Amino acid sequence: MINYHASTFTWRSRHSPHPYYRYEGGFVGKFGDVYDVRSNLQASFEILDDSSGRVTEVFLGSPCRGEYTIADRNLFQVPSFEFRMAFSRHRDVRISRGTGGEKEKVDERPSTLSERYLDFKLDLRRFDRSEEVYDARQVIDSSLAGDLLNARSTYRDEARNLTVAVEYPVNLINLNDEGAQFQVCTGPVLVPDLATWDGSEVSRGFLAHVAFTSFDHVEFILRRDVEASESDREWLARPVGRDRNDLVDPDNRPTGYPPRRWQATTYNEVWALDGHNVFLRASNGQGGDAVDSR
């Protein structure tokens, strides 16, 4: 059982000049400055290749709003967007901006973590003592007792002979104590785009939320970008303060300039899957020794 709140991914990178943009990546420091970033983990999935027995892990990091780093003032970038990353133990995994049925341009060879960062470290923490729970009554009793709960939702892709197991903390659960019923409705999680499976890894995933009320069925609702109206783009795309898209040389513009300057998203596409859900339970005492129940 992964302790996501205590697990982190830390990376180190160097601020280098961009051929076009003055504030590429949002960094406002001196060229050559080295930065470290630490992000908590929020969820993960494993893909088991049943033919080879190989298991691939992919992790979802916590989000932040687009920012200027490290500035004294004007810290948030406007137009705003969400920065979030997904990665395996070896390389980046692109988070889709479309739906499962849409084709997106995906790099033929995603950058490896070693290529992208000067240094990096995945600190994956697990609870010392945890157990699997398959009974609705136990789920309710554990929830009301304040136990720490993860869930693991597993489903099959028969055509590719792959098994996917998505694990995540149960941040929200609805309970009917008298009727011994529960409903998990939580997120975010990451689910793989198995169309990008190359035999060892995937290069794209979908940000989603997850819901289930039984142990044999799970539903994921996927996030996607939506096109804002022209009137909304007028204010969505208007920079406040520093402009991330300022050019080093206004006469030297990259192809496709100016880039899209807004981000509006919705959750719309639902995957309803036969699968297998299990709860993972750990005592809340493992999370710390300070309790405030006021």
Boundaries of every domain in the chain = 4-256+264-285
> Which structure tokens are listed for 129?
């003592």
Neighbours of 256 (CB within 10 A): 7
The pLDDT score that the predictor gives to residue 291 is: 40
* Rounded Cα distance, 245 and 257, in Å: 9
- pLDDT of 151: 98
Residue 263: per-residue pLDDT? 79
Regions of the chain where pLDDT drops below 50: 288-294
Burial (0-12, 13-18, 19+ Cβ within 10 Å), 259? exposed
One-letter amino acid identity for 234?
E
The pTM for the full model equals 0.91
User: According to the model, what pLDDT value does residue 115 have?
Assistant: 93
Distance (Å, rounded) from C-alpha 221 to C-alpha 72? 39
What residue type is assigned to position 163 of the chain?
T
- Class of residue 218 by CB neighbours under 10 A (exposed 0-12, middle 13-18, buried 19+): buried
Which tokens go with 212?
A: 């289930």
Q: State the amino acid at position 13 in one-letter form.
A: S
Q: What is the distance of C-alpha 129 from the center of its chain? A: 26
Q: Which residue bears the tokens 């789920």?
A: 139
Whole-number pLDDT of residue 288: 45
Q: What is the pLDDT, as a whole number, of residue 251?
A: 95
Q: What Rg do the C-alpha atoms of the chain give, in angstroms?
A: 21
Give residue 105's pLDDT.
Answer: 60
- The pLDDT of residue 289: 43
The gap from C-alpha 82 to its chain's centroid, in whole angstroms, comes to 11
Q: Where are the alpha helices (DSSP H) in the chain?
A: 113-116, 136-145, 230-236
Give yes or no for a contact between 61 and 84, defined as CB atoms under 8 angstroms apart: yes
Q: Which two tokens stand for residue 100?
A: 């499962």
| Torsion-angle region of 267 (φ positive above 0: left; ψ -120 to 50: alpha; else: beta) | beta
Q: What are phi and psi of 194, to 5 degrees?
A: -70, -10
